[in-house]
Amino acid sequence: MMLARTLRRRLAASERGATMVEFALLAPVLLTLIMGIFDMGYNIYATILLNGSIQRAARESTLESATAKANAIDQIVTSAVRDISPSAAITFSRKAYTNFSDVSEPEDFTDVNNDGTCDNGEPYEDVNGNGTWDQDRGIDGMGGARDAVLYTVTVRYPRVFPIANLIGLPPYFETQAQTVLRNQPYGDQTVKVTVKNCT
Protein backbone atom coordinates (compact mmCIF):
# COMPACT_ATOMS: atom_id res chain seq x y z
CA MET A 1 0.00 0.00 0.00
CA MET A 2 2.82 2.33 0.93
CA LEU A 3 4.64 1.42 -2.27
CA ALA A 4 1.57 2.21 -4.36
CA ARG A 5 1.24 5.66 -2.72
CA THR A 6 4.90 6.41 -3.31
CA LEU A 7 4.61 5.32 -6.91
CA ARG A 8 1.54 7.53 -7.43
CA ARG A 9 3.34 10.53 -5.95
CA ARG A 10 6.34 9.94 -8.18
CA LEU A 11 4.17 9.66 -11.27
CA ALA A 12 2.26 12.80 -10.33
CA ALA A 13 5.48 14.76 -9.77
CA SER A 14 7.23 13.36 -12.86
CA GLU A 15 7.61 15.71 -15.84
CA ARG A 16 8.93 13.03 -18.17
CA GLY A 17 6.78 12.87 -21.29
CA ALA A 18 5.47 16.44 -20.85
CA THR A 19 7.41 17.52 -23.91
CA MET A 20 5.69 14.89 -26.03
CA VAL A 21 2.27 16.03 -24.85
CA GLU A 22 3.14 19.66 -25.54
CA PHE A 23 4.45 18.74 -28.99
CA ALA A 24 1.28 16.75 -29.73
CA LEU A 25 -0.79 19.83 -28.88
CA LEU A 26 1.34 22.30 -30.84
CA ALA A 27 2.28 20.17 -33.88
CA PRO A 28 -1.04 20.56 -35.77
CA VAL A 29 -0.95 24.34 -35.32
CA LEU A 30 2.69 24.51 -36.37
CA LEU A 31 2.18 22.29 -39.43
CA THR A 32 -0.90 24.27 -40.49
CA LEU A 33 1.07 27.50 -40.19
CA ILE A 34 4.01 26.12 -42.19
CA MET A 35 1.76 24.75 -44.95
CA GLY A 36 -0.12 28.07 -45.05
CA ILE A 37 3.15 29.96 -45.53
CA PHE A 38 4.21 27.55 -48.30
CA ASP A 39 0.80 27.87 -49.99
CA MET A 40 0.92 31.66 -49.84
CA GLY A 41 4.51 31.72 -51.14
CA TYR A 42 3.65 29.38 -54.01
CA ASN A 43 0.66 31.51 -55.03
CA ILE A 44 2.71 34.73 -54.88
CA TYR A 45 5.40 33.10 -57.02
CA ALA A 46 2.79 31.95 -59.57
CA THR A 47 1.31 35.47 -59.74
CA ILE A 48 4.74 37.08 -60.24
CA LEU A 49 5.58 34.56 -62.95
CA LEU A 50 2.25 35.24 -64.68
CA ASN A 51 2.82 39.00 -64.59
CA GLY A 52 6.30 38.63 -66.09
CA SER A 53 5.16 36.34 -68.87
CA ILE A 54 2.14 38.50 -69.74
CA GLN A 55 4.40 41.55 -70.10
CA ARG A 56 6.66 39.66 -72.50
CA ALA A 57 3.70 38.29 -74.48
CA ALA A 58 1.99 41.69 -74.61
CA ARG A 59 5.06 43.30 -76.20
CA GLU A 60 4.85 40.68 -78.96
CA SER A 61 1.14 41.49 -79.36
CA THR A 62 1.83 45.10 -80.40
CA LEU A 63 3.45 44.09 -83.70
CA GLU A 64 1.57 44.23 -87.00
CA SER A 65 2.00 40.49 -87.50
CA ALA A 66 0.59 39.70 -84.05
CA THR A 67 -2.92 38.83 -85.25
CA ALA A 68 -1.59 35.83 -87.16
CA LYS A 69 0.54 34.81 -84.17
CA ALA A 70 -2.08 35.18 -81.39
CA ASN A 71 -1.93 31.50 -80.43
CA ALA A 72 1.89 31.53 -80.36
CA ILE A 73 1.83 34.65 -78.16
CA ASP A 74 -0.62 33.01 -75.76
CA GLN A 75 1.63 29.95 -75.74
CA ILE A 76 4.41 32.04 -74.15
CA VAL A 77 2.19 32.61 -71.11
CA THR A 78 0.85 29.05 -71.15
CA SER A 79 4.36 27.56 -71.11
CA ALA A 80 5.45 29.74 -68.19
CA VAL A 81 2.35 28.85 -66.15
CA ARG A 82 2.48 25.12 -66.97
CA ASP A 83 6.08 24.96 -65.74
CA ILE A 84 4.85 25.52 -62.19
CA SER A 85 1.24 24.29 -62.43
CA PRO A 86 0.67 21.68 -65.17
CA SER A 87 -3.07 21.35 -64.50
CA ALA A 88 -3.87 25.08 -64.52
CA ALA A 89 -6.86 26.35 -66.50
CA ILE A 90 -5.80 29.45 -68.47
CA THR A 91 -8.12 31.92 -70.22
CA PHE A 92 -7.07 34.82 -72.44
CA SER A 93 -8.91 38.02 -73.29
CA ARG A 94 -8.00 40.97 -75.50
CA LYS A 95 -9.95 44.20 -75.88
CA ALA A 96 -8.95 47.06 -78.16
CA TYR A 97 -9.59 50.75 -77.46
CA THR A 98 -8.87 53.91 -79.45
CA ASN A 99 -6.91 55.51 -76.57
CA PHE A 100 -5.48 54.55 -73.20
CA SER A 101 -8.08 56.78 -71.52
CA ASP A 102 -10.89 54.67 -73.07
CA VAL A 103 -9.82 51.41 -71.39
CA SER A 104 -12.74 49.86 -69.46
CA GLU A 105 -14.84 53.01 -69.92
CA PRO A 106 -18.52 52.91 -70.96
CA GLU A 107 -19.68 54.17 -74.31
CA ASP A 108 -20.64 57.87 -74.24
CA PHE A 109 -24.35 58.70 -74.23
CA THR A 110 -26.54 61.75 -73.70
CA ASP A 111 -28.47 61.30 -70.46
CA VAL A 112 -31.58 63.27 -71.44
CA ASN A 113 -33.70 62.19 -68.43
CA ASN A 114 -30.78 62.35 -65.93
CA ASP A 115 -31.33 58.83 -64.56
CA GLY A 116 -27.72 57.67 -65.09
CA THR A 117 -28.61 54.91 -67.58
CA CYS A 118 -28.79 54.81 -71.34
CA ASP A 119 -32.48 54.17 -72.09
CA ASN A 120 -35.66 55.64 -73.63
CA GLY A 121 -34.11 56.40 -77.02
CA GLU A 122 -31.19 58.45 -75.67
CA PRO A 123 -28.38 58.85 -78.23
CA TYR A 124 -25.09 57.01 -77.66
CA GLU A 125 -21.85 56.41 -79.54
CA ASP A 126 -21.63 52.79 -80.65
CA VAL A 127 -17.84 52.59 -80.43
CA ASN A 128 -17.56 48.80 -80.63
CA GLY A 129 -20.16 48.47 -83.39
CA ASN A 130 -22.31 45.79 -81.74
CA GLY A 131 -25.58 47.74 -81.96
CA THR A 132 -26.15 48.18 -78.21
CA TRP A 133 -24.84 50.54 -75.52
CA ASP A 134 -22.11 48.85 -73.46
CA GLN A 135 -20.54 49.42 -70.06
CA ASP A 136 -17.16 48.64 -71.68
CA ARG A 137 -16.47 50.26 -75.05
CA GLY A 138 -13.70 47.81 -75.96
CA ILE A 139 -13.71 45.73 -79.12
CA ASP A 140 -12.82 42.05 -78.65
CA GLY A 141 -9.54 41.14 -80.29
CA MET A 142 -6.13 42.65 -80.92
CA GLY A 143 -7.40 45.82 -82.60
CA GLY A 144 -5.56 47.70 -85.30
CA ALA A 145 -2.69 50.12 -85.59
CA ARG A 146 -2.28 52.60 -82.74
CA ASP A 147 -5.06 50.96 -80.69
CA ALA A 148 -4.55 50.46 -76.95
CA VAL A 149 -5.07 46.77 -76.17
CA LEU A 150 -6.01 45.42 -72.75
CA TYR A 151 -4.53 41.91 -72.50
CA THR A 152 -5.95 39.86 -69.62
CA VAL A 153 -4.92 36.36 -68.53
CA THR A 154 -6.76 34.43 -65.81
CA VAL A 155 -5.16 31.34 -64.25
CA ARG A 156 -6.96 28.86 -61.99
CA TYR A 157 -5.24 25.85 -60.47
CA PRO A 158 -5.75 23.42 -57.57
CA ARG A 159 -3.91 24.35 -54.41
CA VAL A 160 -0.62 22.48 -54.05
CA PHE A 161 -0.75 22.09 -50.26
CA PRO A 162 -3.68 20.38 -48.49
CA ILE A 163 -4.22 23.38 -46.24
CA ALA A 164 -7.37 24.70 -47.92
CA ASN A 165 -9.82 22.26 -46.33
CA LEU A 166 -8.33 22.72 -42.87
CA ILE A 167 -8.78 26.47 -42.71
CA GLY A 168 -11.79 27.00 -44.98
CA LEU A 169 -10.07 28.19 -48.17
CA PRO A 170 -11.41 27.24 -51.60
CA PRO A 171 -9.65 24.20 -53.13
CA TYR A 172 -8.64 26.27 -56.20
CA PHE A 173 -6.53 29.43 -56.39
CA GLU A 174 -7.32 31.99 -59.08
CA THR A 175 -5.14 34.89 -60.15
CA GLN A 176 -5.40 37.41 -62.95
CA ALA A 177 -2.85 39.62 -64.69
CA GLN A 178 -3.53 42.53 -67.03
CA THR A 179 -1.48 44.90 -69.11
CA VAL A 180 -2.31 47.65 -71.58
CA LEU A 181 -0.03 48.44 -74.52
CA ARG A 182 -0.46 50.46 -77.70
CA ASN A 183 -0.11 48.71 -81.04
CA GLN A 184 2.66 49.96 -83.27
CA PRO A 185 1.70 52.59 -85.88
CA TYR A 186 1.76 50.27 -88.88
CA GLY A 187 -1.42 51.74 -90.45
CA ASP A 188 -4.57 53.71 -89.72
CA GLN A 189 -6.94 52.94 -86.87
CA THR A 190 -10.00 51.04 -88.05
CA VAL A 191 -12.55 52.10 -85.40
CA LYS A 192 -15.58 53.83 -86.91
CA VAL A 193 -17.90 55.37 -84.33
CA THR A 194 -21.60 55.58 -85.19
CA VAL A 195 -24.31 57.35 -83.23
CA LYS A 196 -27.44 55.35 -82.31
CA ASN A 197 -30.34 55.55 -79.85
CA CYS A 198 -30.80 53.53 -76.64
CA THR A 199 -33.85 51.32 -76.26
Q: For residue 65, what pLDDT band results from cuts at 50, 70 and 90?
A: low
State whether the Cα torsion 58-138-187-65 is positive or negative. Answer: positive
101-112: pLDDT as tens digits: 888 888 888 888
Whether the per-residue pLDDT at 13 is higher than 80: the answer is: no
- Whole-number pLDDT of residue 116: 83
Distance CA(67)–CA(147), nearest Å, equals 13
Mean pLDDT of 89-108: 89
Nearest 5°: CA angle at 90, between 174 and 145?
A: 115
On whether the CB atoms of residues 180 and 150 are closer than 8 A, the answer is yes
Whether the per-residue pLDDT at 71 is higher than 70: the answer is: yes
pLDDT over 90 for what percent of the chain? Answer: 13
Distance CA(9)–CA(158), nearest Å, equals 54
- Whole-number pLDDT of residue 176: 93
- Whole-number pLDDT of residue 153: 93
Mean pLDDT of 68-75: 79
Instruction: Return the beta strands (E) in the chain as ranges.
Output: 89-97, 123-126, 139-140, 148-158, 172-182, 194-197
DSSP state of 93: E
CA dist list (Å): 70 to 18, 94, 103, 142, 159: 64, 10, 21, 9, 29
Nearest to 191 by CA among 98, 77, 113: 98
Phi, psi of 77, deg, nearest 5: -70, -45
- Whole-number pLDDT of residue 192: 64
pTM tops 0.75:
no
